Amino acid sequence: MNMNAKNYLFLHILLMIYSLSAVLSKAAAGAETLSLKFCILYGLIFVILGVYAIGWQQVIKKIPLTTAFANKAVTVVWGLLWGILIFHEAVTVRQLAGAAVVMGGVILFSLSEEAA
């Protein structure tokens, strides 16, 4: 695996981790405010966001900022996946189509960066 592919893989693993903060936030919303469960979940959100912030700093050293930000759109796809797997949410065809458009846009953007 070349260095560029490793950087993109790291970026996407980082974005997957970042998307977990939304999962924890939704779970915390179901807990009683300031209960132990609520505090633990929000504490984990801060940990995840801290890991993400440090990882993001490393990513933007190696990947152009425009490319890194364009790839952040894949968190929409992670949100759909977590909604289905963890919260058993129903997903519509339009949502799937939207996720496909997002992924297509990220791929096109990334390919255009490589061609430049």
pLDDT digits (tens, 9 = 90+) for 26-59: 999 999 999 999 999 999 999 999 999 999 999 9
The residue among 75, 91, 99 whose CA lies nearest residue 21 is: 75
- Residue 115 has what pLDDT? 58
- Residue 13 has what pLDDT? 95
Note down the domain range covering 20. Answer: 3-115
Give the whole-angstrom CA distance, residue 71 versus residue 85. Answer: 22
What is the tally of structural domains in the chain? 1
Give the whole-angstrom CA distance, residue 20 versus residue 92. Answer: 22
Q: Is the pLDDT of residue 20 over 80?
A: yes
- Residue 111 has what pLDDT? 81
Q: Are 100 and 80 spatial neighbours (Cβ–Cβ below 8 Å)?
A: no
pLDDT digits (tens, 9 = 90+) for 96-116: 999 999 999 988 988 886 656
Q: Is the pLDDT of residue 93 over 70?
A: yes
The residues near 78 (Cβ < 8 Å, ≥ 6 apart) are 15, 16, 19
Q: Is the pLDDT of residue 84 over 70?
A: yes
Predicted TM-score (pTM) of this structure: 0.85
